[in-house]
Amino acid sequence: MDRDIIYQGAVTTLLVLTAYFVGEFLETGQWHIVASNDGITMAFLTMSMAEIFHSLNMRSQRKSIIGMAVKGNHNRFLIYSTIGSLLLTTAVIYVPFLRDAFGFTSISFAEYSVALGIAFLMIPIVEIVKAIQRKLAKRRQEKQ
């Protein structure tokens, strides 16, 4: 469990930093560490949505979300909450008074899509690790 928290936190951090640097590059055309409004906005979107996507992973600590979905194990409230969170996060970026209150900037559709894509990577990364953990647990059981 402790290792899960550490690696998942590290993955989230790497995804957010990636989004920041990609946003900075898309804004300036250079790979520099500077204050980038687009980078900050993309990092916020990525962090917010990576955590939301991660909640889908954490319905089970070891079971695959794909396997649970195939078996009809759905959590409608979680799906509705995910959609609502996406809409509210998008509002913070694009509704002028909210954007100004949070100090963000409007980003292009391409930047928005890239940030969401980076955030979505949280699902397959954690699913791959869970598959490895299941395989290792099965091997340990077979040895006993």
pLDDT tens-place string over residues 10-22 = 999 999 999 998 8
pTM of the predicted structure, to 2 decimals: 0.84
SS3 of residue 95 by DSSP = coil
Q: Residue 107: in which H helix or E strand, if any?
A: none
Could you tell me what percent of the chain has a pLDDT over 70?
A: 90
d(CA 20, CA 6): 21
Looking at the structure of the chain, the number of domains it has is 1
Closest by Cα among 49, 55, 57, 35 to 103: 35
DSSP annotation string for 14-78: HHHHHHHHHHHHHHHSS---S--HHHHHHHHHHHHHHHHHHHHHTTSSSS-HHHHHHTT---HHH
Q: Write out the residue range of the structural domain in which residue 99 sits.
A: 2-143
Average pLDDT over residues 30-57: 86
